[in-house]
Amino acid sequence: MPTTAETLARTGGQPISRILFSEEQIAARVAELGEQIARDIPEGEDILVLGLLKGSFIFLSDLVRQIKRPIEVDFLIASSYGTGTESSGEVKLLYARQASIEGKHVVLVEDIVDSGTTLNRLIPILQQRGPRSLEICALLHKHIAQNVVKEARWVGFDCPQEFVIGYGLDHSEKYRNLPFVGVIQP
């Protein structure tokens, strides 16, 4: 399938080899996820949707509009890298609101669960702050993570074990603005 001119304009001429999930498929699935979350959390109780930046920013903005009840929204910034480009396996929280997790149903929103390292480090930190419940909503799941401290409760799509871009996901900070999820040609 040839990459459209509009997409090439967004990628700076880099062709897409495969579109995995189209804009329409994503919109339909995100609507289902929003409904499910609204249904699964007891009525009248406080929901805090916590987006993990930067990868979740587009998913989160679409998702919160599909959770049709009162919610709060905030973000976390975590860094999974040390000083170099090699993953250190360490996750540092660079920004996290201290207050207001306690007693709330926290929905942690991730773009993709890959090795599971990020969530394995974050979940215990957030648990310590006394949420009423803490569940994960991930757009994509590669199903390669082992020994995760907590499985994602809501998952948009199972993802092939390839490097994917678009709809918030980047490769070296590019391609986040593609409206679909795809694989870039090497």
Q: Supply the residues annotated as catalytic.
A: 114
Q: Provide the binding-site residues for Mg ion, judged by CB under 5 A.
A: 55
Residues 6+ apart with CB under 8 A from 163: 171, 183, 184
Residue 112 interacting partner from ligand IMP, Mg ion, none (CB closer than 5 to 8 Å by kind): ligand IMP
Residues 6+ apart with CB under 8 A from 57: 51, 168, 176
Whole-number minimum distance, CB 120 to ligand IMP, in Å?
A: 8
**Integer Cα distance of 55 and 59 in angstroms:** 8
Whole-number minimum distance, CB 163 to ligand IMP, in Å?
A: 4
* Complex with ligand IMP: residue 76 or 113, whichever CB lies closer: 113
* Complex with ligand IMP: residue 41 or 138, whichever CB lies closer: 138
Whole-number minimum distance, CB 174 to ligand IMP, in Å?
A: 11
Residues 6+ apart with CB under 8 A from 14: 8, 184, 185
Q: Provide the binding-site residues for ligand IMP, judged by CB under 6 A.
A: 55, 80, 110-118, 163-165, 169
**Integer Cα distance of 178 and 166 in angstroms:** 5
